[in-house]
Structure 1
């Protein structure tokens, strides 16, 4: 199955949101086990009724498609993903989250003036 550039960009944005939400939960509920790693038990995260806007942004990297989006909107009705063994480093400390269930409900993504390019191309 071929991934379209729009789907790729939407997925990258949602993954960035999930990772930042997971880091916040890890920081709030951590219990120190030694000086280098704080272990955090399993977490259930639900993000609902939110709109993410990405505007006036340029992304460049190897393997990215060449894509210009003037304005596009997407809606994710409901999706759940599970992550096992998530490690997050923040402010010089490492946090280990055992199992994370993330549920997204009614999430809107708006792209405005977004440019994606392949950094391998000259």
Structure 2
């Protein structure tokens, strides 16, 4: 697995963990028609933590064929920013304003993780 693929995988995992946890609770309390102002900005900071991902197998169309037996990575400092987006979940449109995600001194440990393209059965 090359360095760019590793970094992308780490960032995707962190974003999924953070936004999955915060987004689920926010959407659970939102009404069926969201009137949120898409110009609102949100700042999320993740610092001094370690995420362990063990015994995971992902497959899907277009996924690369990757596997990691045992690897540890540290993100010293990274920031990802968006101007805003619209997400449709179960037919309901939700507007999300600008998001700035800062990751500082976060470790990611992978053990027995594989990603593979989807195969027909």
Q: Shorter-chain TM-score: what band? A: 0.7 to 0.9
Q: Which runs of 5+ in 2 are unaligned?
A: none
Q: Give the structure 1 partner of residue 63 of structure 2.
A: 64
Deviation at 1:96, TM superposition (A): 2.2
**Contact 1:73/1:109 (8 A) holds in 2:** yes
Let me know the Cα RMSD of the aligned residues.
3.3
Deviation at 1:26, TM superposition (A): 4.8
Query: Comparing both structures, which one devotes a greater share of its residues to strand?
Result: 1
Q: Give the structure 2 partner of residue 106 of structure 1.
A: 105
The C-alpha deviation readout for 1:56-113, integer Å capped at 9, x for no partner, is: 1001112222122111001000111111223456799654222111111011111011
**Structure-2 change in CA distance of 1:55 and 1:9 (3 Å):** same
Q: Give the structure 2 partner of residue 6 of structure 1.
A: 6
| Equivalent in 29, 32, 36 of residue 33 of structure 2 | 36
TM-score by length of 1: 0.73
The C-alpha deviation readout for 1:4-33, integer Å capped at 9, x for no partner, is: 543342232123134225526856xx7x7x
**Structure-2 change in CA distance of 1:88 and 1:26 (3 Å):** farther
Q: Give the structure 1 partner of residue 20 of structure 2.
A: 20
Q: Which runs of 5+ in 1 are unaligned?
A: none
TM-score by length of 2: 0.73
How many residue pairs align between the two structures? 118
